[in-house]
Amino acid sequence: MPETLPPTVDLFFDVERLQLTEGKEPRLSPADEAARDRVWEKAVQANPDLFDGPVVACAGLERTDPSVLSLSWVRVTYRHYALRRVPGATALPSLFVNVLQPTDDGRVVVARMSSSTAAPGRWQLPGGSVEPPRAGEALVEADLAGQAARELSEELGLDAGAKMLKLWAVTRGENGSVGLTYRAPVLPEPAVRAAFAAAAAADRAQGREPELDDIALVSSQRDLEFLSGPHADYLEPLVRRFTDRLGR
């Protein structure tokens, strides 16, 4: 059975345009900065694979028009999210992209995170944190689609290409985290499974553990309930929305 979901996951559909604006990371007090660093260093000791690389956080999200979402983003590193474990401190919500990969029988591909990741055993859509552009450059929607396409290629071995992905939904869930869900073109199940097996084999041949250790195809809440382990908070609402639009 899946873990208990947060009370609500905000869903934004029919988004035709993202209005992206860069902001600045809030200043920390010396005490909060020191506490953040202690939490991060302890986490790295427990999992040496953690990497304090650059990522994008979300500073604000609102619908400014029926088809437009305004998103304010900030350059941070993974260390920033250690603030979630500092009493009294506030961490900006994370921003990530993921991909809804449908199959020709009306199901959706979901994937399980491997034991070496920050969320071992969690079922989710293939995807990852948003990376910032180079200093002085703007983040544009095409960049986000490109990152989603890259995640799909690296994790499932499917090369849809950014131009083939369409922004399908935006979610706001646990810790205020914001997810940009792109929909990929329909594929037959055998092609998906063959691509995933080949991508996993290529990772192992390079001495790396694949980020995903299993995939499943689902079309309902009941299908999700059979997946043992935690589920990403957005997973059930997105699967339900997908099947509702198919008229199931």
| Domain containing residue 196 | 10-245
The answer to whether residue 201 sits within a structural domain is: yes
The answer to whether residue 26 sits within a structural domain is: yes
* DSSP one-letter code for 73: E
The answer to whether residue 1 sits within a structural domain is: no
Decide if pLDDT at 54 tops 90.
yes
Q: How far apart are CA 177 and CA 173, in angstroms?
A: 5
pLDDT of residue 117: 82
* pLDDT band, very low/low/confident/very high, at 6 (cuts 50, 70, 90): very low
Decide if pLDDT at 242 tops 60.
yes
How does pLDDT run across 17-47, given as a tens digit for each residue?
Answer: 899 999 999 999 999 999 999 999 999 998 8
pLDDT of residue 7: 44
The answer to whether residue 161 sits within a structural domain is: yes
Name the residue with higher pLDDT: 150 or 8. Answer: 150
Name the residue with higher pLDDT: 174 or 97. Answer: 97
pTM metric for this prediction: 0.92
How does pLDDT run across 166-224, given as a tens digit for each residue?
Answer: 999 999 998 889 999 999 999 999 999 999 999 999 999 999 899 999 999 999 989 99
The answer to whether residue 4 sits within a structural domain is: no
pLDDT of residue 3: 37
| Residue 76: φ, ψ to 5° | -140, -175
Per the structure, the count of domains in the chain is 1
Q: Residue 200 corresponds to which amino acid?
A: A
Residue the block writes with tokens 């996951």: 9
The answer to whether residue 170 sits within a structural domain is: yes
3-state secondary structure labels for all residues of 180-226: EEEECCCECHHHHHHHHHHHHHHHHHCCCCCCEEEEEEECCHHHHHC
**Sheet with 166-172: strands ordered across:** 10-13, 166-172, 178-183, 95-100, 127-129
Q: How far apart are CA 164 and CA 156, in angstroms?
A: 16
pLDDT of residue 248: 54
The answer to whether residue 44 sits within a structural domain is: yes
* pLDDT band, very low/low/confident/very high, at 4 (cuts 50, 70, 90): very low
The answer to whether residue 42 sits within a structural domain is: yes
Q: What is the mean pLDDT of residues 6-12?
A: 72
Q: How far apart are CA 97 and CA 77, in angstroms?
A: 16
Q: Record the tokens describing residue 247, joined without a space.
A: 């008229």
Q: What is the mean pLDDT of residues 50-79?
A: 94
Non-local (6+) Cβ contacts of 245 within 8 A are none
Q: How far apart are CA 16 and CA 169, in angstroms?
A: 10
pLDDT of residue 175: 82
Helices (H), the chain: 30-46, 141-156, 189-205, 221-225, 235-245
For Cα atoms 114, 119, 121, give the angle at the middle one, nearest 5 degrees.
Answer: 50
pLDDT of residue 179: 96
Q: How far apart are CA 109 and CA 189, in angstroms?
A: 9
Residue 113 maps to which CATH number? 3.90.79.10
How does pLDDT run across 107-153, given as a tens digit for each residue?
Answer: 999 999 998 887 889 999 999 999 999 998 999 999 999 999 999 99
